[in-house]
Each structure stands twice: as C-alpha cells, then as structure tokens.
Structure 1
Amino acid sequence: MKATIWHNPGCGTSRNTLALLEAAGADVTVIEYLKTPPTADKLAQLYRDAGITPQQGLRLRGTEAEARGLPGADDATVLAAMVAEPKLIERPLVETGRGVRLCRPKDLVLEIL
C-alpha cells in the first residue's frame, strides 16, 4: 500500500506514526512539510478527506494561532496562514488509498491501512 505522510522528524508522534507505516509494509512517501509545505488546495483536500475542518488541523501548541484568532477564522484564512507558516499545521497527516487521517494519536493511522 502507498502512503504519504506530512512529517516533522522532530515530533515523536510523527516519528511513531512513520514507524507504524513502515512496520505495516507501506510504500511511504515522506514529505517534511516544514521544508516543503502543501498548498492551500492540497491542505483543503486533506482535511476534507479526513472529515475535519482546517481549524481542527491547526496546531495550537507552541504557536501563536490562538493569539492571532485563527481557531475562529474562516477556512481560507486558516489555510493561508498554514501555507505561510507551516508550523501551524498539526502533524502528522497521512494519506493512503483508504483515506486521510490526522494521526493524533498515532494509532489513527491503522484506520487507513
């Protein structure tokens, strides 16, 4: 099975999710989203396919998202902020042929393997 993970190697949950994918034998494409952020359109598609809103995909911990009012902002504003500052993207996002999950906790990846 092919899988794509939007990954932050500095994040334990992201590393553990990647390890689960590899242990399952997935053919994994790793995208370090802090270096290569997804487009707003790709993020919108990922969140739509995961059944969550961009606001639910917003990283609050260690960011200024709340101070900037992003949790209550419209989708376009949140997505634009994420593209401009990829540290605002909660991680890891995983996409397979069976769907997309924001893998917090890491075991959510098992739903799409």
Structure 2
Amino acid sequence: MDVRFYEKPGCVTNKRQKALLIAAGHAVEARDLLAEPWTAGRLMAFFGALPPHQWFNRAAPAIKSGEVDPDGLDHATAMALLLADPLLIRRPLIEAGDWRCTGFDLAALDQAIGLPSVAPEGPLEGCAHGESVRVCPTPA
C-alpha cells in the first residue's frame, strides 16, 4: 500500500518507523512535516476524535521548556499553536488511502494497513535521543 509519511527529517525514531512500514511491503513517501503548508482542516483529518492534548509532540522544545502546556487546551488554541510551530505536531502523520493517523500506534497501524510481526529495535514513539537532549539534531 502507498503510505504518505510526514516526518521531521533526520529523526531517528521516524527512520525506524519508516523501516517497519517498508518491511511490511508498503511504499513509503516521506515528506517534511515542518515544510508542509498545514491548515486546520488538513491537520484535523489526522487527529480525528483525539483530544487536543494528544495532538502534541511531547518532545518538542517549547513543551519541554514549559513554554507550551498542551494539557487543558481547547481545540482552537491547540490548533493555533500547531499551525504557528509545526515542531509541536505529534509525529509522524501517516496517510494511506482514506486512512490517517498521528503518532505510531502499532495496533492501529496493523489493523489499518498491516505490519510485520517483528518490530525493529528501539522506540517507535517519542525522541530516540532521550530526555537529556532538548532538541533533536537537524541534518545539515
């Protein structure tokens, strides 16, 4: 199946996620999440019925620093923050046909598009650089 995968270029966790999709036989088209011209309507297609606090990348610098606290935000405020700073968007954003999601939920992905029975080593959600790194390295 053709899968469009919105990622932060250079993210080690996103690389593992793409490898798992490819191992399952999917054709992965990677796109730069940070360069995409997002609109509220387009993002909502990925978030579905999730509450706003689940739309956020908890490893984003603005969240780790305490500048942004996603808990308790209403839809409009949360969306305005995401559109202003795409680093805040929980990634990856994945679309395959009419199906879309945010994050890398193995069970949901397996049910929707199919995954191999063996997952690659390492985390498949969150920052692979750990808590000591405040900002993931960006490729030159």
Please give the TM-score of this superposition, normalised by the length of structure 2: 0.66
Runs of 4+ in 1 over 6 A off after TM superposition: none
Size of the aligned set, in residue pairs, is 110
The structure carrying a bigger helix percent of its residues is 1
Question: Can you give the 5+ residue segments of structure 1 that lack an aligned partner in the other structure?
Answer: none
Q: Secondary structure at the match of 2:95?
A: strand
CA root-mean-square deviation: 2.2
Structure 1 equivalent of residue 7 of structure 2: 7
Structure 2 equivalent of residue 99 of structure 1: 99
Q: How do 1:12-31 residues align onto structure 2 when only pairs under 5 Å count?
A: 12-31=12-31
Distance (Å, rounded) in 2 between the aligned partners of 1:69 and 1:92 = 20
Structure 1 equivalent of residue 62 of structure 2: 64
User: Does residue 74 of the first structure (1) align with residue 74 of the second (2)?
Assistant: yes
Q: What is the letter of the counterpart of residue 23 of structure 1? A: A
Q: Is the 8 Å Cα contact of residues 5 and 94 (structure 2) preserved in structure 1?
A: yes
Q: Whose radius of gyration is greater, 1 or 2? A: 2
CA separation of 1:88 and 1:76: change in aligned 2, threshold 3 A = same
Q: Is the 8 Å Cα contact of residues 17 and 103 (structure 1) preserved in structure 2?
A: no
Q: Secondary structure at the match of 1:94?
A: strand
Structure 1 equivalent of residue 33 of structure 2: 33
Q: Secondary structure at the match of 2:25?
A: coil
Which moves more between the two structures, 21-30 or 70-79? Answer: 21-30
Please give the TM-score of this superposition, normalised by the length of structure 1: 0.78
